[in-house]
Structure 1
Amino acid sequence: MSSLDASLEVTVDGGGQRVAFALVVENAGYDPVSVTFRDSGDADFAVLTADGEEVWRWSDGRVFAQALRPAEFAPGESATFEAEWPDPRPGDYTAVGELRVREVEVRAETPFSV
C-alpha cells in the first residue's frame, strides 16, 4: 500500500485566544490509496510540551460512532481535517495531527508558540 503524505498547519489568533489546526493529507502517488477510518472521528490533534507532556487532545471527552468506514484517496487527491484549541495556555508546544485509520500511520508534527 502506498503511503499518504501529511502536513500540519497551526494558526494562533492575534490575541492567543485560540489555536486552529489543519491536517492536510495527500496522495502524492500514482495509485489510489484505500484506508479504513476506525470510527467517526476522522483525525485527532494533540498538543505536547517540550518534554512530551500532553496538555490538550481534541478527542478527549468526545464520543464517536463506532463504525468502520472505508475511504479512498485518488492520485493527487487531498483532504483537510480541522480542529480548534480554545483558551490555550501561553507557552512553546508541538502540535501533532493524526489520521485515525487502521492501515497506516498518517501523522504530522509542527512546533508553535502561544
Structure 2
Amino acid sequence: MALDGELDATVSSGATGPDAVTLAFTVRNEGTKTETLRFSDACKAEFVVQDEGREVWRYTDGRMFAQMLSADELDPDEETTYEAEWEEPQSGEFTVVAELQARGTTCEARTQLTM
C-alpha cells in the first residue's frame, strides 16, 4: 500500500483559555491502484497526545465503538480524513500521533502542538 498521512491540530479558545483541540488525520492514496481500508469496528483512527514520550491523552480511552466490519476505498490520489477532539487540553508542548486502524495496513502521522 502506498498511503501517506498528514495530521493537523487546531486549537479553539474560549474566554478562559483553550477549550479543545480538533485533530484531523488525512490519509492519501499515493499509489496507482485503488486501496481498500478494512476496519473491524467504528474506530478508524487512533490519536495519542504525548509529553516527552509519556502519554497524556488517548482518543479511545473510556470510549466504546460499535463492532462492525466496514471498508473505505481510496482511488489513486484520493484522500479521506478522520477526526477527533481533545477536550479540556492541558498546557504544555506535545507530540500528537495519529495511526490508521485499518487491518493489515500501516499509516501514521505526527505533529507538534503547543498549548
Aligned equivalent of 1:10: 9
* Separation in structure 2 between the aligned mates of residue 69 and residue 39 of structure 1, nearest angstrom: 7
Cα displacement (A) at 1:108: 0.5
**TM-score, length-scaled by structure 1:** 0.91
Aligned equivalent of 1:31: 33
Aligned equivalent of 2:102: 101
CA-based RMSD? 1.2
Q: Secondary structure at the match of 1:90?
A: coil
Structure 1 contact 45–95 (Cα < 8 Å) conserved: yes
Number of residues of Structure 1 aligned to a counterpart in Structure 2: 112
**TM-score, length-scaled by structure 2:** 0.90
Higher strand share: 2
Identity %: 40
* Gap regions ≥5 residues in structure 1: none
Aligned equivalent of 2:75: 74
Matched to 2:98, the amino acid is: G
Runs (4+) off by over 4 Å: none
* Gap regions ≥5 residues in structure 2: none
For residues 1-24 of structure 1, what are the alpha-carbon distances to aligned partners after superposition, in whole Å with 9 as ceiling and x for unaligned?
A: x22110000112243221110000
Cα displacement (A) at 1:38: 2.5
